[in-house]
Chains A and B, each alone.
Chain A
Amino acid sequence: MGVRKAITGAEAAAEAMRQINPDVVVAYPITPQTPIVEQFAKYVADGIVDTEMVPVESEHSAMSATVGAEAAGARAMSATSSQGLALMWEIVAATPGLRLPIVMPLVNRTISAPLNIHCDHSDVMGVTTVGWIQIFSENAQEVYENLLLAIRVAEDTRVQLPAMVNQDGFITSHAVEPVEIFDDAAVRTFVGVRPLDRGLLDLQHVRTIGAMVLPDYLLEVKRAQEEAMMHVFEVYAEAGKELSAITGHQYPFFETYRTEDADAVIVVLNSAAGTAKVAVDAMRALGKKVGLLKPILFRPFPYAEVRDALKDVPVVGVLDRSMDFGAYAPVYTEIRNVLFELDRRPTTQSYIYGLGGRDIMATEIESVFEELLSGKLDPEHQRYIGLRG
């Protein structure tokens, strides 16, 4: 048993970072990520952690310095949101190829323009192709535990890839909820020290990191990177089992909620999954057989496992909190891909919701379920929840 505290999602991330006690944290403030770094800076100032904290002048520098520290052999972290992620994109994209297991909380906020500080997933969905492990969190408790898990997965010598742990801006990051913080000593044993087989400061094994690679080698480098990504599944499962021993919680690749015998299932990420559970309960109380599938590990994407979970469901609705203009929305695309291998495929429907912090209500999700059950669907055209006009 841990200690229950009433804290925000941002503070939950800072609590995880306190227990991880990274060697280096480099960050630049951006709403709604700011309270993570603010809280962590207090831990540094109060001497609660040993971290070298480096305030920099931009996110580009933040990720650059984090990369430098990680390359030198340190356990380094940063945190950002939206435009901050956009500004550090160049270095974010370089990190997986350098095989540096940086772990970074990302507080999801819409990408400008129009300027808007509120939640959607357009920031993270812009970086899902560059090779970071992507983990999503429904609430503050999951933020905390996913960060601990991410450290172990990212740093495992079979993986050595960076990981982002996502939470919804404001909805999770600024909402106070009860969070169970587990024993410092147990958590610190779990996260351990970074297993290091190389490092710039290792003078016995002098090496170059970030060398130029020409056409004769780049394909092989990327193939090796893909191999590492495929190892994430086994490492995630192993580390999850170890973390379970401390927390008593399970760490599946995705969560299913009342999907057994379901006539319709909704797929949705992050905080809206919590609201969707309330909608599922309300529909079930009326005798309507509906359920929820909440992806947690989004990169790598567990295609086979999700397919198995959805194979007997007649209708699947996918709720995306971001768009891919002129193409199917990101989560919808994955679910369509998942289902292709089946002989008898479920009907699907894509929905866009919650952009720029637009509220999503349980009653709206119930209406989506009603629509899915009615069969009046158009799988090739996305629908919009709460759109005027």
Chain B
Amino acid sequence: MKEVYEVRMHGRAGQGAKSGSQLLAEAAFREGKYIQSFPEYGSERRGAPTVSYTKIAEKVLRSHEPIVNPDVVLVLDFGIMRSIAVAAGLPDTGILIVNTKVCSAEIKKLAQFNGTLYGVDATGISLELLGMDTPNVPMLGALVKLTGVVKMESLEIVLREHFLPKIGEEKVQKNISMLRKGYEEVFK
């Protein structure tokens, strides 16, 4: 692991890139790491493109720069790749995970990425289990499967902490199922 492990999430406002990167940071924080998590704010309308950052390190993080050379990029909406170079700064050895049903050649072309591209049907999982499109949670499951940067258990704990007062036990359970399904169903 390099000095600062950096994850960048691209999505659309309302898809949960901000809370996704925060959940990841808090899971790492639970495991004793130093963390930073912050979104880049645009015009704050549901549907507008957003980007959110998570930094994880063994030592205190002083810099407040955005992430330009991520280790992992998560793309919560494949359509965003038409207008945004999601793989910018991601080395070929890095990991790109896209919310998609199939890693077709066209998806790869859209991603403009020479390394290994992974897919997970996060929208499908979310629509099936929750009835709405919140792909951030299944995407985090896929991230854990591929990188092991945090433990699933830590994510489940922070997910519960965060969402229990807001959405209740039943939906928390559904979110945990979504997380696990994302973990299991990520593909190349």
* A contacts B: CB pair < 8 Å: yes
Which positions in A face B, CB cutoff 8 Å? 4, 6, 117-118, 139, 168, 170-172, 174-178, 271-272, 274-275, 277-278, 359-362
Q: Given A6-B26, A6-B29, A176-B26: A275 and B62 within 8 A (CB)? A: yes
Chain B residues with Cβ below 8 Å from A172 are 64
A6-B37, A278-B63 given; name 13 further pairs at CB < 8 Å: A4-B29, A6-B26, A6-B29, A6-B35, A117-B41, A171-B64, A172-B64, A176-B38, A274-B62, A274-B64, A275-B65, A360-B65, A361-B68
Of B34, B36, B62, B66, the contact of A277 (CB 8 Å cutoff): B62
Chain B residues with Cβ below 8 Å from A171 are 38, 64
Chain B residues with Cβ below 8 Å from A176 are 22, 25-26, 35-38
Q: Given A274-B62, A275-B63: A175 and B29 within 8 A (CB)? A: no
Chain B residues with Cβ below 8 Å from A274 are 62-64
The answer to whether B39 touches A174 (Cβ under 8 A) is: yes
B61 at the interface (CB under 8 A from A): yes
Q: Given A6-B29, A178-B34: A359 and B41 within 8 A (CB)? A: no
Give the shortest distance, in Å, between A364 (CB) and chain B (any CB): 9
Of B25, B29, B41, the contact of A170 (CB 8 Å cutoff): B41
Chain B residues with Cβ below 8 Å from A4 are 29
Chain A residues with Cβ below 8 Å from B26 are 6, 176
The answer to whether B64 touches A175 (Cβ under 8 A) is: yes
Q: Which 7 A-B pairs have the closest CB atoms?
A: A175-B38, A274-B62, A176-B37, A6-B29, A278-B63, A271-B64, A275-B63
Residue of A nearest to B30 (CB): A6
Give the shortest distance, in Å, between B77 (CB) and chain A (any CB): 22
Best-buried of B26, B62, B68 by chain A (most CB within 10 Å)? B62
Chain A residues with Cβ below 8 Å from B29 are 4, 6, 178
Q: Mostly helix, strand, loop or mixed at chain B's interface?
A: mixed
| B interface residues, tally (CB under 8 Å) | 18
Give the shortest distance, in Å, between A116 (CB) and chain B (any CB): 11
Chain A residues with Cβ below 8 Å from B38 are 170-171, 174-176
The answer to whether B65 touches A359 (Cβ under 8 A) is: yes
Cα distance A170–B61 in the bound complex, in angstroms? 17
Cα distance A177–B21 in the bound complex, in angstroms? 12
Give the shortest distance, in Å, between A48 (CB) and chain B (any CB): 14
Residue of B nearest to A9 (CB): B38
Best-buried of A6, A275, A277, A361 by chain B (most CB within 10 Å)? A6
Residue of A nearest to B37 (CB): A176
Residue of A nearest to B40 (CB): A170
Give the shortest distance, in Å, between B117 (CB) and chain A (any CB): 28
The answer to whether B61 touches A177 (Cβ under 8 A) is: yes
Cα distance A300–B29 in the bound complex, in angstroms? 37
Chain B residues with Cβ below 8 Å from A277 are 62-63
Give the shortest distance, in Å, between A304 (CB) and chain B (any CB): 28
Chain A residues with Cβ below 8 Å from B22 are 176
Chain A residues with Cβ below 8 Å from B62 are 139, 274-275, 277-278
The answer to whether A272 touches B64 (Cβ under 8 A) is: yes
Q: Given A176-B26, A274-B63: A118 and B35 within 8 A (CB)? A: no
Give the shortest distance, in Å, between A34 (CB) and chain B (any CB): 11
Query: What mask results when residues 33 to 65 of chain B are scored 1 for a CB within 8 Å of chain A, else 0?
Result: 011111101000000000000000000011111
Chain A residues with Cβ below 8 Å from B36 are 175-177
Chain A residues with Cβ below 8 Å from B65 are 275, 278, 359-362
Chain A residues with Cβ below 8 Å from B34 are 178
Best-buried of A168, A176, A362 by chain B (most CB within 10 Å)? A176
Residue of A nearest to B27 (CB): A6
Give the shortest distance, in Å, between B134 (CB) and chain A (any CB): 19
Cα distance A274–B65 in the bound complex, in angstroms? 9
Of A117, A118, A178, A275, the contact of B64 (CB 8 Å cutoff): A275
